[in-house]
Structure 1
Amino acid sequence: MVKYTDDFKAMVVREYLEGTIGYERLAKKHGVKSNRQVRDWVNAYKKFGMEGLVRKKRDAIYSVQFKLDVLNFMKRTGASLADTALHFGLTNTPMVAVWKKKFLNGGAEALDNPKGRPVMSDKAKNVKKNQKPTQENEMTREQKLERENELLRLEVEYLKKLRAFQMDPDGYLEKHKQRYHSNSKKNSH
């Protein structure tokens, strides 16, 4: 996947906003893979300013509940990936597609798996050095049950919110709109 610099995106958006050239011609002129990409940049800029064009650092962590809310919104409203991302203040549209794919393949539990390896503390590094290679660091039965319970709680909470949304979509969205915007601002720092 091609990654464009923030300055490049800003230049393309400025050129569009000058009004002399459309999405398709801009994409061709600058070698952007699709005019949809240019449109997404323009919409993000209009809604969030320059901050809308800046990719968030990879260490941004979103809760499983937030991811479920995003996916639920997209399913219920029929919003596109880009519109959903804009609604929740997410500047990385493909991330929503990744969440959707994970959810469809593995349910809510799949959304809880962080990308990559977890960072190892100094204490854990020392313990690992002293371990025999045959020993496995497996979760105890109790830990597995606690994790399963937490995931089930999240799923029940998700289903409750889904039902509330189905009964009154406009009221639900209005009630939770402020919370989503404040959550996305917290996660962007």
Structure 2
Amino acid sequence: MSKRYSYKFKMRVVEEYFEGKLGYRTLANKYNISTESLVRQWVNNYKDCGKNSLKSREGKTKYPLEFKLNVLHYKQETGASYRETAKKFGLNNPSLIANWRRAYLEGGANQLNNPIGRPSDMHKKPKLSKKSQRMNLSEKEELELLRQEVTYLKIENLYLKKLKELGLKDHRDPNRPNSL
């Protein structure tokens, strides 16, 4: 799982970058940040979208299909880069647009509506407890009786089919017609 950095920490790193004394790599090493590209991303987000772009979001932002299509259309028509397009639409993650484009090319507009990632557990059927999974004795007896009845009915069905095939009547019921 990736490390989460606080807003204050990100601001301190970005401000130190703008002082002009240290570069991306040096700042990453100084503050023990995993990659210099993360520092670069913070600086670019700050330049493009301001301070608020450094704040962590609680959950995923869900964008409507129409918005995604507008973003993709703008990028296609203008030939703008992912970063320029993201800046235009106030998105702080240009790779999001690349993901939308890939999804659109793979499956059209319908694919853009499909969530990417692991599905939530919300729609799964609840698991039964072990107690409710076990049958009590009377249920087991009833199941065995039903199985026996099914077997008997199968045999009776075969018997009646054979009688019909031979042109004979069922001797158990004199009023019963010969056809099944």
Task: Give the structure-1-normalised TM-score.
Answer: 0.52
Give the total of aligned pairs: 124
**Change over 3 Å in CA distance of 1:113–1:91 after alignment to 2:** same
**Which of 115, 120, 136 is the equivalent residue of 1:117?**
120
1:12–1:26 Cα contact (<8 Å) kept: yes
**Change over 3 Å in CA distance of 1:70–1:56 after alignment to 2:** farther
**Change over 3 Å in CA distance of 1:71–1:6 after alignment to 2:** farther
2:104–2:111 Cα contact (<8 Å) kept: yes
Mapped partners of 2:122, 2:22: distance in 1: 46
**Change over 3 Å in CA distance of 1:93–1:57 after alignment to 2:** farther
Please list every run of 5 or more consecutive structure 2 residues that lacks an aligned counterpart in the other structure: 129-180
Q: Report 1:1-189 matches (<5 A).
A: 2-7=2-7, 8-30=9-31, 31-35=33-37, 37-115=38-116, 116-117=119-120, 119-120=122-123
Higher relative contact order (CA 8 A, sep 6+): 1
* Structure index of larger Rg: 2
Mapped partners of 2:22, 2:57: distance in 1: 28
Mapped partners of 1:32, 1:93: distance in 2: 20
Higher helix share: 1
C-alpha offsets along residues 11-68 of structure 1, whole Å, 9 cap, x if unaligned? 2211112221233433454444344x43332232234332111243334211111111
Please tell me the residue identity of whatever aligns with 2:35. Answer: K
SS at match of 2:22: coil
Mapped partners of 1:78, 1:65: distance in 2: 20
